[in-house]
Amino acid sequence: MTLTLTEHQLAIANGTEGQGAAMAMRIVADTARLMGAPRLIPVASAHIDGALYHGDSGTLFAEKLVEGAAKVKVRSTLNVGALDLVGCSKQRMPPAERDMAKRMMMAYEAMGCEPSWTCSPYQAGHRPALGSDVAWGESNAVVFCNSVLGARTNRYGDFLDIACAIVGFAPDYGLHRVENRRARVVADVSGLSEALRRSDVFYPVLGTWFGLEMVNSIGVVDGLQGMPNEDNLKAFGAAAASSGGVGLFHIAGVTPEAADVATALQGKPAEKIIHVTADMVLGALKRLSTTTDEAIDAVAIGSPHLSIDEVEMLLHLINGRKLEKTIYACTGRHVIRQIEANGQRSALEKLGVTFVADTCVVVTPILPEGNGVLMTNSGKFAHYAPGNTGYAVQYGSLKDCVESAITGRLTRDQALWR
């Protein structure tokens, strides 16, 4: 299929809005051609994942755009960077890398991006309207945007995300099209216990199973009507996007494009119906822990970034007790501002919690050096931590994580899984 650009889009590519915008338009147009998109469509907003330092080339690319006078045309929030600019935590980065990471973050701010520095922009007020087209990066943000908010985005990778934001257009293909958002697989979880389906520990596990089963397919989960809250949906989507290539899920009676199973299927028959069993979710649960060692060296929570409700639950579960092992609590600066104002930050830090803002422990070196054991309640952390940090993982609920941090040894309530 041949891509057709408008006169306005061609003019941008030819430099009428500066060399930075021209480079961005060429990137977007070439991507559209590769993906077989017939046209570019306007986007209402962007979430930029490309500001995380992975090497000097990313910094130089961003600075090249700034030199070309590039500015974003739509609201553009920023995903985590490599540095905690708020100053809650310390990164173990060599000075040269720290300098390049800082330059990169500043370049994106210079282009007009909001310094949100969170992987959960939807918790910081960036919530595009149902049915609107956007260009979002970061896997958990993408799947939440598509599934829970009902906006439409593909998984825009590093540098394509900022290019779309600068020109205000994205290729018309994939999940921007209604017909491509249809569920084809039904996953019925109604056979699992209600107590398990209502628990926070369940959703990263189910999300892990879902991602492994669906890979790139779109599925609808039946049997969770009236059960998950927004933090549960966040955890489910993040795990599904990490274990598989999930960019959109439906939950019957919960997410906006799935009033019921038939609506999610767009009136067509399911290609496959899976009755999810206890053995299936137990298999996914087993994958999330990579060691049998019961000595815990650290606990990390907040991938995706903690909401204010999750911080309050953390305070409630610790209940004034001193931690034996540090809990690294990753969150956005919008949450840090709230918990500083109400005294929760200082209260938790006195008990042994280290807050991590603007970034997280899996994408930049914050954890102590070594090959220890990391306890987490995050399916995403469990997936990436071994490769990115060298730590083995023990998975459990938030309550399990707190009790393990207090004792310094694995403490896990298995009752829900029996």
Rounded mean pLDDT, 247-265: 98
Are both 222 and 315 inside the same structural domain? no
Q: How far is CA 44 from CA 128, 164, 181, in A?
A: 8, 10, 19
Q: 187 lies in which domain range?
A: 182-286
Report the Cα 388 to chain-centroid distance in Å.
16
Last residue of a domain, one of 177, 196, 221: 177
pLDDT in tens, 123-133: 999 999 999 99
What are the backbone dihedrals phi and psi of residue 366, each rounded to the nearest 5 degrees, phi first?
-120, -40
Quote the pLDDT of residue 211.
Answer: 98
Are both 165 and 212 inside the same structural domain? no
Q: Prior bond to 304 cis, omega within 30?
A: yes
The length of the chain, given as a count of residues = 418
Q: Are 150 and 256 in contact (CB under 8 A)?
A: yes
Q: Which residues of 245-259 are buried (b: 16+ CB within 10 A; e: fewer)?
A: ebbbbbbbbbbebbe
Instruction: Take residue 407 and report the two structure tokens written for it.
Output: 């004792």
pLDDT in tens, 165-220: 999 999 999 999 999 999 999 999 999 999 999 999 999 999 999 999 998 899 99
Quote the pLDDT of residue 216.
Answer: 83
Q: 357 lies in a domain?
A: yes
pLDDT in tens, 4-43: 999 999 999 999 999 999 999 999 999 999 999 999 999 9
Are both 169 and 188 inside the same structural domain? no
Q: Are 24 and 162 in contact (CB under 8 A)?
A: yes
Q: Comparing C-alpha atoms, which of 64, 61, 237 is closest to residue 159? A: 61
Quote the pLDDT of residue 356.
Answer: 98
Q: Are 48 and 78 in contact (CB under 8 A)?
A: yes
pLDDT of 50 higher than 90? yes
Q: Are 243 and 211 in contact (CB under 8 A)?
A: yes
Global model pTM greater than 0.95: yes
Are both 234 and 264 inside the same structural domain? yes
Residue entry with tokens 């990115």: 388
Are both 57 and 147 inside the same structural domain? yes
Rounded mean pLDDT, 137-160: 97
Quote the pLDDT of residue 151.
Answer: 98
Rounded mean pLDDT, 62-67: 98
Average pLDDT, the chain: 97
What are the backbone dihedrals phi and psi of residue 100, each rounded to the nearest 5 degrees, phi first?
-65, -35
Q: How far apart are CA 316 and CA 308, in angstroms?
A: 12
Last residue of a domain, one of 159, 177, 195: 177
Q: How far apart are CA 3 and CA 13, in angstroms?
A: 14
pLDDT of 273 higher than 90? yes
Are both 282 and 293 inside the same structural domain? no
Are both 199 and 308 inside the same structural domain? no
Are both 195 and 344 inside the same structural domain? no
Residue entry with tokens 């260009």: 135
User: Looking at residue 385, which CATH number applies to its domain?
Assistant: 3.30.499.10
Total number of domains in the chain: 3
Residue entry with tokens 């799947």: 143
Q: CB within 8 A of 347, min separation 6: which ones?
A: 315
Instruction: Take residue 32 and report the two structure tokens written for it.
Output: 């559209």
Which residues on adjacent β-strands are paired with residue 329?
301, 355
pLDDT of 1 higher than 80? no
Are both 362 and 255 inside the same structural domain? no
Are both 130 and 217 inside the same structural domain? no
Q: 2 lies in a domain?
A: no
Last residue of a domain, one of 141, 161, 177: 177
pLDDT in tens, 82-134: 999 999 999 999 999 999 999 999 999 999 999 999 999 999 999 999 999 99
pLDDT in tens, 357-401: 999 999 999 999 988 999 999 999 999 999 999 999 999 999 999
Q: 244 lies in a domain?
A: yes
Q: 392 lies in a domain?
A: yes
Q: Are 357 and 117 in contact (CB under 8 A)?
A: yes
Q: Are 211 and 235 in contact (CB under 8 A)?
A: no
Which residues on adjacent β-strands are paired with residue 94?
none
- Residue 186: CB atoms within 10 A of its CB come to 22
pLDDT in tens, 282-324: 999 999 999 999 999 999 999 999 999 999 999 999 999 999 9
H/E stretch holding 33 reads helix 19-35
Rounded mean pLDDT, 229-252: 97
Q: Comparing C-alpha atoms, which of 262, 130, 286 is closest to residue 208? A: 286
Are both 186 and 173 inside the same structural domain? no
Q: 17 lies in a domain?
A: yes
pLDDT of 344 higher than 80? yes
Q: 1 lies in a domain?
A: no
Are both 328 and 373 inside the same structural domain? yes
Q: How far is CA 218 from CA 99, 147, 175, 356, in A?
A: 41, 10, 10, 33
Quote the pLDDT of residue 128.
Answer: 98
Instruction: Take residue 120 and report the two structure tokens written for it.
Output: 């959960």
Q: How far apart are CA 356 and CA 326, in angstroms?
A: 12
Quote the pLDDT of residue 14.
Answer: 97
